[in-house]
Structure 1
Amino acid sequence: MENISKLWMGPLPQDSPYVKPFRLYYVQNGVEKNWDLLKVHDSVAIILYNATRKVLVFVRQFRPAVFHSIITSSGGDLAEVNLQQFPPKIGVTIELCAGIVDKNISRREIAREEMLEECGYDVPTERIEEVMTYRSGVGSSGALQVLYYCEVTDDDRATKGGGVDDEIIEVVEYTVEEARKLVSQGSKINSPPSCLFGISWFLMNKAPKLN
């Protein structure tokens, strides 16, 4: 995952299947305004709890956007990144199992597929509980994300997970107390808001019933 040997920048191809930038114009209170936006896919995320070992299941992966942001905010040279000064591990995140909505199937079915591909758990959609639907990236995309919760056991483990094709994803487990520290005041971690919100929701709504 951290075996990154070369990085470089380039223009975004117009046929990108993931990101389409554009400018939106509008008139508000008689004043013409504009906003630069990104058209991206909607997505799903799943809070996974393994009841056999009493752990929350997350994924760990290298995120180029996080790596790029840390370098630029630290004054690094993007033309020739110093991998000693900026080791790839700084771009590794802890996240919920998640995926984009890019198929003509239900979002719950997409969540089921992501759980199997990324984390190795194979469960029927009936066991996947919808938590909430909200908007992510409200300043740039306004994309929709559906958050789910699923309780699994070791018996549901069909594969070791790790993603498909050229994905490099590591499945990691946190005890409830370890996860609690991720959302404690003052914590600094490479996790998206959906992950931190998912942990907080679990601690409020599920953890008390597990005791």
Structure 2
Amino acid sequence: MEEINSIEVVPCTESNYLKPFRVSYNQNGTKKSWDFMRTHDSVSVLIFNTSSHCFILVKQFRPAVYMCEWEKTKTPQPAEKAEEGEASESQEAQPASAEESSSQWPPASAGVTYELCAGLVDKPDLSLEEIARQEVLEECGYDVPASKLKRITSYRSGVGVTGSKQTMFYAEVSDDNCVSAGGGEPHEGEFIEVVKVPLHEAMTFAYDERIPKTMGVIFSFIWFHNNMSPKYKISTNV
């Protein structure tokens, strides 16, 4: 279980990963503006272990997800009605600041999500396949040649805010390829748990809304079911 404490929310005035901008433009004669964030593109990898017939995912704490859950705890609730059926001004709930609601922080598990192995495209001297290979090794502990990565597709994510592109790959591994426990790079602040999802449970996992996961997990499991599952002659529980 993650342990999260000493939380402090402050304005972000400078970042190595996000740059806020506002663009103004005319669209069909109408003047418009839009706020957006410039950020890195990324890669993700659907990893399938052919020795144990399971998918290899990562599980980690995501501050953005956690803060979204926290926002729910400080949403004003409808005031209770007085006997006459009217709520007095003093009874109206007010939004709480981060400091005021320090005792209302949700458990750390509220910010934990299941994801594909992934990473930022921030090394211009490396190909997308080489970046993906590094992420598989660092996060999940499997040493896979870049040439063995199959490109699935690329797509835009966060089109309303970032518009960044993610390129998704598929990698088949075996127990023989496992050279470490993975877990990411601690010196970079990564605390990643490697998770195995059996093939026969994959689609149940994908559609279970109680399990917090990224769209990449859902899409890639469906892709595997449509393109790779017949090869292994094992039901993916659809």
Q: TM-score range by the shorter chain?
A: over 0.9
CA deviation digits over 1:78-137, x for unaligned, max 9? 334336x61001110000000000101111100000000000001111110000011010
Counterpart of 1:170? 193
Find runs of 4+ consecutive structure 1 residues off by over 4 angstroms: none
The residue that corresponds to 2:116 in the other structure is 96
Deviations 1:2-58 (A, max 9, x none): 1111211111132x1101111111101111101110101000000000000110000
Name the counterpart of 1:194.
216
Q: Which residue of 2 aligns with 1:110?
A: 131
Provide, for residues 144-188 of structure 1, a one-character-per-residue CA deviation record: whole Å limited to 9, x for no partner. 11000000000001111000022100000010122211223x623
The 8 Å contact of residues 97 and 115 in structure 1, kept in 2 or not, is answered as yes
AA aligned to 2:43 is V
TM-score w.r.t. the length of structure 1 is 0.93
Write the distance in 2 (CA, Å) between the matches of 1:54 and 1:81: 44
Deviations 1:51-71 (A, max 9, x none): 001100000000000000011
The SS at the match of 2:70 is helix
- Please list, as runs of the form range in 1=range in 2, the aligned pairs for 1:27-46 lying within 5 A after superposition: 27-46=26-45
Cross-structure match for 1:13? 13
Are 1:142 and 2:180 counterparts?
A: no
Rg comparison, structure with higher value: 2
**Superposed counterparts of 1:49-68, under 5 Å:** 49-68=48-67
* Runs of 5+ unmatched residues, structure 1: none
Measured after TM superposition, the shift of residue 205 of structure 1 is 1.2
- Give how far 1:73 is off: 2.4
CA RMSD of superposed structures (Å): 1.5
Assess if the C-alpha contact under 8 Å between 1:181 and 1:187 holds in 2: no
Q: Does 1:81 align with 2:80?
A: no
* Distance (whole Å) between structure 2 residues aligned to residue 6 and residue 177 of structure 1: 41
Deviation at 1:208, TM superposition (A): 2.2
- Describe how 1:147-166 pairs up with structure 2 within 5 A: 147-164=168-185, 165=187, 166=189
Aligned length: 208
Q: 8 Å contact 2:206–2:217 — kept in the other structure?
A: no
Partners of 1:158 and 1:25 lie apart in 2 by: 51
Paired-residue identity, %: 41
